[in-house]
Structure 1
Amino acid sequence: MKKFLLNMLVVVGLLLCAGPGFGKTIKIGLLCPLTGSWASEGQDMEKIVKLLADELNSKGGLLGSKVEVVVEDDGGDPRTAALAAQRLAAQEIVGVIGTYGSSVTEATQNIFDEAKIIQIANGSTAIRLTEKGLKYFFRTSPRDDEQGRVAADYIMKKGYKRVAILHDNTTYAKGLADETKTLLKKRGANIVFFDALTPGERDYSAILTNLKAKNPDVVFFTGYYPEAGLLLRQKMEMGWNVQFIGGDATNNPDLVKIAGKDAAKGFLFLSPPVPQDLDTKEAKDFLTAYKKKYGDLPGSVWAVLSGDGFLALTTAIKATKSTDPDTLADYLHNKLKDMPGLTGKIAFDSKGDRVGALYRIYKVDAQGNFILQ
């Protein structure tokens, strides 16, 4: 009996060590702003990636192993993000999803690249992020040169002659502002104002006064939604009715909360399709599951793009039956073709950029809804 029990213990021990799903995990990192000005984006990112991981694990996981999502808060700050990236790199993760802001992502790129860890950013559109030749960096978001082209096309089509461009000196906002300015000047537009505000301030009346004095027909703001909301509210308070257009970082429902519905009404912004306008079967099925679990839809498309990053990474692992970073990078660069993602088909070029155009124009209506134009 003792010998029998001993043999059984050995067998159970071997199963626990070697059997699929018995304690072994594949770790995927998630870098996102759970605190700070962009916390709503990060919180949605965490919900989306964890929901997709749960669905994957319910179907057997990856390579016979459970997927574990390891979350680090970057606080929307480059220095915090660099420390968070170092912590993730020390945890034997296969890849990392995130993060949202371009300047924040830029602070983490070299850390992950040197550690040979796949990184798939979701809200980082600055051109230079994929001009560095980093083998393991990808993004599911589009680039600012595409956004700048759409912005310039729209401004010229509407016949605006005197254009003001306001940014916040972050990697993303300054890059988009420069790109749009160059394109507009080539087409003969008169750039009457080009300057930066300081993000995080509570009073932008001085810079709004300077803007108004230049008498622009339109103001293109390339910064983020917290500042955009304040600008819209304070612009209304000073009785200035000029048209404001925002870049894609203004696409967040908190913009309306900050500005108020009256001030936000009529605001235009560029963005990939917002969640309610995603029309693929994959998107509809996922959003139904998301609403069932969390009671509402994600606030913006940027968080949904983190889900696309998770799907791309796990698809690569399944297809290659490997977690080797070079194998995964080669697959993502060269063999992932038209993967059915949440925001449409996913593929990457040699630089790690997403292939295809995504940008649309949206307008905020009287109820604070984002309406596709």
Structure 2
Amino acid sequence: MKRVFIALTALCLLAGAPALWAADSIKIGLMGPMTGPWASEGQEMKQVLDLLAKDLNDKGGLLGKTVEVVSEDDGGDPRTAALAAQRLATQGIVGVIGTYGSSVTEATQNIYDESKILQIANGSTAIRLTEKGLKYFFRTCPRDDEQGRVAVQTIQKLGFKKVAILHDNTTYAKGLADEAKGLLEGKGVEIVFYDALTPGEQDYTTILTKMKGANPDVVFFTGYYPEAGLLLRQKKEMNWPVPFIGGDATNNPDLVKIAGKDAAEGFYFLSAPLPKDLPTAEAKAFLGQFEKKYGHQPASIYAVLAGDGFRVLTEAIQATQSTDPDVLADYLHNKMKDFPGLTGTLSFNDKGDRVGEVYRVYKVDADGNFILQP
């Protein structure tokens, strides 16, 4: 009996060891595309969170504990993301920041919700993500219904009457395309082409030729920057001068690298303000820290939006002196008002959506720079 008692005691101590060890730190998860077609986004998300965590720990951490960022790669793929979410859910995290793509986020929402883990997405703008009544889901990026409204305003302001809409059948791109199509038709704008391409292909001349045959004044592409760059390059090779407007997923410097400066010039896209255009004191101080650490400013606004997710989560922990998910969710839904985020003031509604208008319009100049439009 004595040996059995000792063995049982040892097992209990071993079983409790992870919990005791975890108590020394507050773990915050990061789920992003560290590899795959959107790898530049995920890698910069990690740089931002690592820098913010270090700054917080240098100031004493949270609740007397160090903050630890636990990262998982979702590869920009829903199936990979589901596995990443399952791994993170077993590691004692308080919340998770990410991810970038809407369809990728959607594959993880129920996993985190059932585990009572807060999830704060940074680039997932699809409307339906916050229409599910998930208590622990938030996002620092705006929704596609707002983006659709800004897209329609931009198309009308530029005087286009016949519009081609091209998407890629992902949750985000299809949702934005449908939203814009309905709004444009309601304004009397003619939709002369509506179809999807297959992401990841290297030759889009067939679908470009089909669109050209519809004779649009403008093409609104709602997919991601790798495909947008190829479309711009290949339409220039076809000598088709039709202007293109992109949704916010086309906002990445790699678009210009893929398209080439000549082909990218004149391309319009919608986005939250780029890091260089953020006006707040908080943003300027952070951008200075980032540049000092990494030798350049962040290229992606989505990495900075991930930083805002980290900051609102740590603010909620500090304000409530708690890591209880129900306490934190209640604080973010009901008590956080106009928090001074890096990308502007942050509040959330009862669905977990960011409150307020965020989108701006940018145009690529001859040197490949993204220029904010008045």
* TM-score > 0.5 by shorter chain: yes
For residues 239-297 of structure 1, the C-alpha deviation after alignment (integer angstroms, 9 at most, x for no partner) is 00000000000000000000000000000000010010001000000000000000111
Counterpart of 1:97, as a letter, is I
Structure 2 match to 1:245 = 245
SS of 2:291's partner is helix
After the TM superposition, which parts of structure 1 deviate over 6 Å for at least 4 consecutive aligned residues? none
What residue number does 2:145 align with?
Answer: 145
Q: Identity rate of aligned residues, in percent?
A: 75
Q: Does residue 348 of structure 2 align to residue 342 of structure 1?
A: no
User: 1:184 — aligned with what?
Assistant: 184
> Paired residue for 1:201?
201
SS in 2 for 1:84: helix
- Stretches of structure 1 that go unaligned for 5 or more consecutive residues are 1-16
TM-superposed deviation, 1:107: 0.3
Name the residue aligned to 2:310. Answer: 310
Whole-Å Cα distance in 1 between the matches of residues 356 and 267 of structure 2? 26
Question: In structure 1, the residue corresponding to 2:188 is in which secondary structure?
Answer: coil
Structure 1 residue 359 and structure 2 residue 352: aligned? no
Amino acid at match of 1:323: T
Residues 1:59 and 2:47 aligned together: no
Q: Does 1:91 align with 2:91?
A: yes
What do the CA deviations read for 1:284-316 (whole angstroms, capped 9, x no partner)? 000000000001111111110000000000000
**CA-to-aligned-CA distance 1:141-164 (integer Å, 9 cap, x gap):** 000000000001111222211100
User: Aligned to 1:94, what secondary structure does the other structure show?
Assistant: strand
CA displacement 1:149-201 (0-9 Å, x = unmatched): 00011112222111000000000000000000000000101100000000000
2:48 match: 48
1:86-235 pair list within 5 angstroms: 86-235=86-235
Aligned to 1:79: 79
Between the aligned partners of 2:316 and 2:22, the Cα distance in structure 1 is: 23
Partners of 1:57 and 1:158 in 2: how far apart? 48
Q: 2-side partners of 1:56 and 1:223: how far apart?
A: 36
Equivalent pair of 2:34/2:42 in contact (CA under 8 Å):
yes
Deviations 1:115-148 (A, max 9, x none): 0000000000000000000000000000000000
Residue 27 of structure 2 aligns with an amino acid whose one-letter code is K
SS state at 1:188 partner: coil
Report if the CA contact (8 A) 2:93-2:117 is conserved. yes
> Take 1:158 and 1:231, find their aligned partners in 2: how far apart are those partners?
21
1:333 Cα deviation after fit: 0.2
Q: When the two structures are superposed, what TM-score results if normalisation uses the length of structure 2? A: 0.94
Structure 2 match to 1:9:
none
Rounded to whole Å, the distance in 1 between the matches of 2:276 and 2:295 is 14
* Distance in 2 of aligned mates of 1:88 and 1:323: 16
Aligned partners of 1:294, 1:159: CA distance in 2, in Å? 42
Q: How many residues align?
A: 354
Of 49-58 and 21-30, deviating more is 21-30
Q: Is the 8 A contact 2:22 2:92 kept in 1?
A: no
* Residue aligned with 1:100, SS: coil
TM normalised by structure 1 equals 0.94
Quote the Cα distance in structure 2 between the aligned partners of 1:22 and 1:154.
50
Structure 2: gaps of 5 or more residues: 1-16
**For residues 291-330 of structure 1, what are the structure 2 equivalents within 5 Å?**
291-330=291-330
Q: In structure 1, the residue corresponding to 2:108 is in which secondary structure?
A: helix
Taking the aligned partners of 1:290 and 1:23, their CA distance within structure 2 comes to 29
Q: What is the distance in 2 between the residues matched to 1:286 and 1:158?
A: 35
- Distance in 1 between the 2:366 and 2:155 partners? 23
Whole-angstrom distance in 2 between the partners of 1:189 and 1:22: 57
Task: Write the distance in 1 (CA, Å) between the matches of 2:160 and 2:335.
Answer: 44
Aligned twin of 2:10: none
Partner of 1:6: none
